Chains A and B, each alone.
Chain A
Amino acid sequence: MGMRDNGCGCGAGEARRLDNNWQRDTRGRENGCGCDAGEGRRSDNWQRDTRGRDSGCGCGRDGRWDRTSGEGGCGCAARQVRNDERRDCPCGGYDQPRMDYGQECCALLHRLQELDFSIQETVLYLDAYPDCCEAKTYYRQLVCERKQVAEEYEKQCGPLTAMGNGDGVEWKWCKSPWPWHPDFPGNRKA
């Protein structure tokens, strides 16, 4: 058969995939790819982590969802995925694009978070004691360093606000992982 609806190309046969993950007709196989279900797993499609065997296919590949490479999340098959195609691959599932943030990004963000916390606390203190010169001096030092660190972070890792990230072809604001995702810098142990 030419096209397999689920895109695994594992030899699934008549596996059918419907839009809403909770309505998936798996035709007897948990994940619908029919590879050899094993530990078929269904989880919220938006959060599916396709690394390792998480896809549950037992296909044997280290599933990774990478929008730009054109691979399906399960890595089961050669089937090319269009970059604009939103996929609910039963073998791998849809996940945010993995960006390999290096040590650099983690370190920059860590420093930024440290500075921002100090600034936040100092601001609250100054709200209560606006005439404290020591606090104001400390505040200015923090803000000065913060500006540099934030600039560096935005240059290397991705935008901090929507108010200025026009560099590059990609609309990075949306394409980089969002802060609650495990892949966001600092969220995984480096």
Chain B
Amino acid sequence: MWIYEKKLQYPVRIKTPNPALASMIISQVGGPDGELSASMRYLHQRYSMPDGDVVGMLTDIGSEELNHLEMVSAIIHQLTRNIREDKIMDTPFAPYFVDHTTGVYPVAASGVPNDMKYVGIKGDPIADLNEDLAADAAITQV
């Protein structure tokens, strides 16, 4: 089970709102290589791992990804605070704003909502751990 601690893993201090930047960083929330997909991947793979140490590792990493999810969501929240509608309309943030205003919606920068298709769960330790290697390599491209 999970317990929530009311703090961020690391502080988030955004001084100046920047909706255009938010429209790109949102991929780290809900994109294919974002924190939501990462946490779902690790947390779901752990059920079929034969070794308790691996289960522990996946549990701890998956839970940490949720921490990261919260931090990036905090970034989006602070980037879009107190913004004026007329300052948004000419930025790439406009389409997102139409459907979500300044809410934090797990979506990719391309506009594709987060999808469990980004996550591979085969129930086989070798396949699943290789999926994790690929996912982590993909992150370096973000």
Contact = CB atoms under 8 A, between A and B. Distances in A.
A127 B53 contact: yes
B64 A182 contact: no
B13 A180 contact: no
A8 B140 CA distance: 52
Contact of B57 (A120, A128, A158, A178): A128
- Sort chain A's interface into a size bin: 35 or more
Nearest to B104: A180
Nearest to A112: B7
A82 B118 CA distance: 48
B8 to A, nearest CB: 4
B4 A161 contact: yes
A43 B77 CA distance: 12
Nearest to B54: A127
A54 B4 CA distance: 32
B74 A158 contact: no
A2 interface: no
- Sort chain B's interface into a size bin: 20 to 34
A127 B59 CA distance: 10
A3 B12 CA distance: 41
Interface string B39-63: 0000000000000010011001100
A184 B73 CA distance: 15
A67 B81 CA distance: 20
B70 interface: yes
B82 A180 contact: no
B70 A180 contact: yes
Residue from B60, B82, B102 with most neighbouring chain A CB atoms (10 Å): B82
B34 to A, nearest CB: 17
A173 B6 contact: yes
A116 B9 CA distance: 8
13 contacts: A42-B84, A42-B85, A43-B83, A43-B102, A113-B8, A113-B11, A127-B53, A160-B6, A161-B4, A180-B12, A187-B12, A187-B78, A189-B13
